[in-house]
């Protein structure tokens, strides 16, 4: 998908407006009749007293602060917060949006206002792609969300499920990956570099799909599902006229945005229908083996016998929940893993140090076990540092206040969208020394841990509070297991597209693409050399 479709970009918004001369003329007319900027930042209570709203950058009439978001909103919002403070109120067209860029304010939210901040704003993309909010990530806070989340935690993400299913799947898929790379090294064309980005995404997909869908064979090289997920993530952040200017929703249809969302939705829906039909047919024929039951089987059993849940589990609910678990697992995990490998290739000192630890702990064994990883203290610091610099979702999934409240000394109205800039919090120099540098040693003898999401708020790569990612522990484990094996079995050198054999570490392109996840723009190509224990 072209970068021009990614929200929110000022010049891209301008390009959209230029396609509609009448609408542009109306805006220019308003701009000529009204003041160029507005700076009023006060509201009144029902009793008439003036309420102090959070500080706001000066804004244009009608479009508000949309023009200030830039190509990479997490970067632009950090720059604005450095000028206006860690809590700001922006006006995105008709949508008031609170921006939080402070660990202290996140702590205040969790300790005092977690329920009020647990709702989700509706959007055109999430409504069309997630069956009107029947999933978990975009569902409004309430009874259904609690029940659906409980199902996922009990039947997919529980420690028992991880031990019985996920660990076995991870071992088999990572072992198959190592074997494939070793065969490529042994071939006459072994001088050919490997597209590590592609390999990491596919292996993550195999691990996640097996635990959710069971054995699933995808035609066409196995990457179509990954491509669909990436397209969906980009569309979720694409600019929508209807989200910010409700009366102009028709423009989303006129410019083809609604059509593109429906096209993605139809393709995903057809895939889920096929999966559900195959599972139902197998269950009716008695072909399901109890100890290999997958998550789809569990959802269909609950659908057939809903006595343990308080809502009707329709096929749309099943498909929406599957989509959440599938693509949240694939995209966030593969994105974090790809950035981790990139940082290691760019920092040879860290790569050497962590490989020495991994190989020392594993010793002469033929496999890397999870128990081994739990003894790799420096490796865990490396993974945490990567999540600090590259949180998979740099702007946590948007929230919405369910009622008005006071936070940070300011009044926040009900129905205000909320963006928490995890990327900015992770790079705050007041807490992190040399915050732009990759320094895993900062986590040695440091108690900050994102797993303890109710205690530490300087590190929130998987969100926080009630709506933190329920699969963060499992995602962390998949990242660790996959990368530890790649580092144990192989030494890696960057591939250079120029004349020399290998690229310099500092030459590695670290540019990103902003969607729901911020993934690496250019793939990583590297030469593996087999390590013999």
- Do 125 and 238 form a contact (C-beta atoms < 8 A)? yes
Angle at alpha carbon of residue 303, lines to 331 and 229, rounded to 5°: 15
Own/partner contacts of 45-51, CB < 8 Å, gap of 24 or more, are: 51/411
Task: Give yes or no for a contact between 398 and 121, defined as CB atoms under 8 angstroms apart.
Answer: yes
* H/E element, 526: strand 525-530
The secondary element (H helix, E strand) that includes residue 417 is strand 417-420
219, two tokens? 């035609």
Among 47, 50, 79, 44, which residue's Cα sits nearest to residue 65? 79
Element (H, E) at 207: helix 196-213
Q: Which of 194, 190, 177, 183 is nearest to 523 (CA)?
A: 194
Alpha-carbon distance 119 to 146, whole Å? Answer: 12
Residues 182, 178: Cα–Cα separation, whole Å: 6
* Separation CA 87–CA 105 (nearest Å): 8
Q: What is the 3-state secondary structure (H, E, C) of 224-286?
A: HHHHHHHHHHHHHCCCCHHHHCHHHHHHHHHCCHHHHHHHHHHHHHHHHHHHHHHHHHHHHCC
CA neighbor of 165 nearest in space, from 285, 296, 286: 296
Q: Is 142 exposed, middle or buried (0-12, 13-18, 19+ CB in 10 A)?
A: exposed
- 482 CB-near residues (< 8 Å, 6+ apart): 170, 174, 177, 200, 203, 204, 337
Q: Give the burial class of 213: count Cβ atoms within 10 A of its Cβ; 0-12 exposed, 13-18 middle, 19 or more buried.
A: buried
- State in Å, rounded, how far the first CA of the chain is from the last one: 43
Give the span between the Cα atoms of 69 and 502, in whole angstroms: 38
Q: Does the annotation place 152 within a ligand binding site? A: no
Going by the annotation, the residues of the binding site are 469
Going by the annotation, the residues of the binding site for heme are 469
């Amino acid at each position: 998908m072209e970068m021009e479709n990614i929200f929110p970009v000022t010049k891209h918004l301008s390009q959209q407006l230029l396609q509609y001369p009448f609408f542009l003329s109306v805006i220019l007319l308003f701009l000529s009749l009204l003041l160029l900027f507005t700076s009023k930042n006060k509201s009144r209570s029902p009793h008439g007293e003036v309420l102090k709203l959070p500080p706001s950058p000066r804004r244009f009439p009608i479009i508000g602060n949309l023009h200030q978001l830039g190509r990479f909103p997490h970067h632009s919002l950090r720059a604005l917060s450095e000028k206006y403070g860690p809590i700001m109120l922006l006006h995105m067209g008709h949508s008031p949006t609170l921006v939080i860029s402070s660990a202290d304010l996140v702590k205040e939210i969790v300790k005092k206002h977690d329920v009020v901040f647990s709702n989700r704003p509706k959007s055109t993309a999430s409504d069309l792609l997630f069956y009107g909010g029947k999933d978990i990530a975009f569902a409004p806070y309430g009874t259904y969300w609690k029940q659906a989340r409980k199902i996922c935690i009990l039947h997919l993400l529980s420690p028992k499920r991880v031990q019985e299913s996920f660990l076995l799947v991870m071992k088999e898929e990572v072992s198959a990956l190592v074997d494939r790379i070793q065969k490529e090294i042994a071939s006459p064309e072994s001088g050919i570099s490997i597209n590590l980005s592609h390999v990491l995404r596919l292996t993550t997909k195999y691990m996640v799909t097996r635990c959710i869908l069971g054995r699933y064979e995808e035609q066409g090289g196995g990457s179509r599902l990954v491509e669909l997920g990436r397209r969906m993530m980009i569309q979720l952040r694409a600019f929508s006229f209807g989200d910010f200017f409700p009366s102009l929703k028709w423009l989303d249809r006129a410019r083809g945005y609604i059509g593109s969302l429906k096209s993605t939705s139809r393709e995903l829906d057809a895939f889920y229908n096929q999966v559900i039909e195959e599972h139902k047919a197998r269950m009716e024929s008695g072909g399901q083996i109890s100890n290999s039951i997958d998550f789809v089987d569990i959802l269909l059993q609950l659908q057939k016998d809903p006595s343990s849940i308080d809502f009707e589990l329709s096929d749309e609910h099943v498909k929406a929940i599957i989509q959440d678990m599938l693509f949240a697992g694939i995209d966030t995990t593969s994105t974090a893993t790809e950035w981790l490998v990139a940082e290691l290739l760019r920092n040879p000192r860290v790569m050497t140090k962590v490989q020495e630890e991994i190989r020392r702990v594993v010793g002469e064994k033929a496999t890397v076990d999870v128990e081994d990883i739990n003894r790799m203290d420096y490796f865990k610091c490396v993974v945490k540092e990567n999540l600090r610099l590259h949180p998979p979702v740099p702007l946590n999934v948007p929230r919405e206040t369910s009622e008005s409240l006071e936070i940070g000394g300011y009044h926040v109205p009900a129905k205000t969208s909320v963006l928490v800039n995890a990327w900015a919090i992770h790079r705050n120099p007041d807490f992190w020394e040399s915050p732009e540098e990759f320094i895993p040693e900062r986590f040695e003898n440091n108690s900050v841990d994102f797993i303890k999401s109710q205690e530490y708020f300087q590190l929130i790569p998987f969100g926080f509070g009630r709506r933190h990612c329920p699969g963060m522990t499992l995602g962390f484990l998949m990242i660790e297991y996959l990368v530890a094996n790649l580092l144990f079995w192989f030494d890696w050198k960057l591939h250079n597209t120029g004349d020399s054999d290998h690229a310099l570490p500092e030459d590695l392109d670290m540019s990103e693409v902003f969607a729901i996840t911020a993934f690496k723009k250019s793939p990583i190509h590297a030469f593996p050399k087999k390590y013999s224990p």
